[in-house]
Amino acid sequence: MTNAPAEPPVLLSIEDGLALITLNRPAQLNALTQEMSERLEQTFADVGSNPDVRVVVIAGAGKGFCAGADMGRLQGLVADKGAGLASRRPEDPHPVYDALDAPDYLRSRLLAPMAMPQPVIAAINGACAGVGLAIAVASDIRFGSPTALFSAAFPRRGLTAEAGLAWSLPRIVGRAAASDMMLSGRRITAAEAEKMGLLNSVIEEDVLAHALAYAKDIAANCSPRSTRTIKRQLRLAADQTQREAVILAYDEVVASLACDDFQEGVASFVEKRAPKFTGR
């Protein structure tokens, strides 16, 4: 009897403008190996540069979202003292990301959800720690099950905050809560994560089904040109003055008035029908 081929560590399905990316090492709570990291990186880049994808959902197979880096990978970094990781800096050219119109500092698998032009929704069904937390924080919207658990366990492994979390996490939960999470490395429950704003909602029913329904509504009823522009505005606003943000908003509104999607948005509302946005 021959063994069935192992499933790939990252799964991708695309249907009706919705891309579902599934981390697929359920027995290991989807902890990232080097191979899995590379596949995830390529998947993020492929999906982000696909004009037919309007919204993205990231989920974990089994009982976890992503428990962080695989311990075998961490042991390898101990052995070579991180020499391989240190060979590439965030600002270095990266051919995988060339198709994405994103700043160089976002060219990382841990920041790719922020770099991708589409709205990205994380469906968090269990353990979400370390690099898994970084991926969730880089997403635009986070839904969690009641069993979701969050941990920035870096100081408990002798590490420091990865993927710019010291910048991004305080902008979501505030500096006090971010300091608590990152300096203690303690576990945060779903209820606490919702209270601090890390989770948009705790979903009592199937969290993935909820995330997919939410994403399908965006794909069907929101202009992809609008969502991509708004996501870029939100990203830039973190470092803009109010004056800069208002001027950019004016320019983008003027540009949108000449677009097909604006005409379709008004026409579909007046005619009381579902819109048929093209992204133009």
Torsion angles phi and psi, residue 278, rounded to 5 = -115, -10
1 bridge partner residues: none
How are strands ordered across the β-sheet holding 64-66?
64-66, 127-129, 149-151, 187-189
- Tell the residue number behind the tokens 């970094």, with chain if given: 77
How far apart are alpha carbons 40 and 66 in whole angstroms?
12
Do the bridges between strand 120-124 and strand 141-144 make them parallel or antiparallel, or are there none, so unpaired?
parallel
Lowest mean pLDDT among 103-107, 143-147, 168-172, 185-189: 103-107
Number of other CB atoms surrounding residue 153 within 10 Å: 19
**55 touches 121 (CB < 8 A):** yes
Q: Which amino acid is located at 247 in the chain?
A: I
Q: How far apart are CA 212 and CA 136, in angstroms?
A: 16
Q: How far apart are CA 21 and CA 238, in angstroms?
A: 27
Whether pTM exceeds 0.75? yes
Report residue 1's pLDDT band, with 50, 70 and 90 as the boundaries.
Answer: very low
Question: CB neighbours of 28 closer than 8 A, spacing ≥ 6?
Answer: 67, 70
Q: Which two tokens stand for residue 58?
A: 């990231």
Helical (H) or strand (E) element with 52: none
For the chain, give the mean pLDDT: 91
- Quick check: 13 pLDDT over 80? yes
Q: Quick: pLDDT tens for 227-260.
A: 999 999 999 998 999 999 999 999 999 999 999 9
Could you tell me which residues are beta bridge partners of residue 150?
128, 188
pLDDT at 80: 58
Q: CA–CA separation, 130 vs 163, rounded Å?
A: 10
Which one-letter amino acid corresponds to residue 116? M
Predicted pLDDT of residue 83: 54
DSSP 141-198: EEEE-TT-EEE--GGGGT----TTHHHHHHHHH-HHHHHHHHHH--EEEHHHHHHHTS
Band (3; pLDDT cuts 50, 70, 90): low
Q: Which residues pair with 223 in a beta bridge?
A: none
What's the whole-number mean pLDDT along residues 147-151? 97
pLDDT (tens digit, 9 = 90+) per residue, 47-98? 999 999 999 999 999 999 999 987 665 545 555 555 555 556 767 777 777 7
Cα–Cα dist 10/143, whole Å: 20
Strand partners, 45: none
Q: Show the tokens assigned to 276.
A: 């048929």
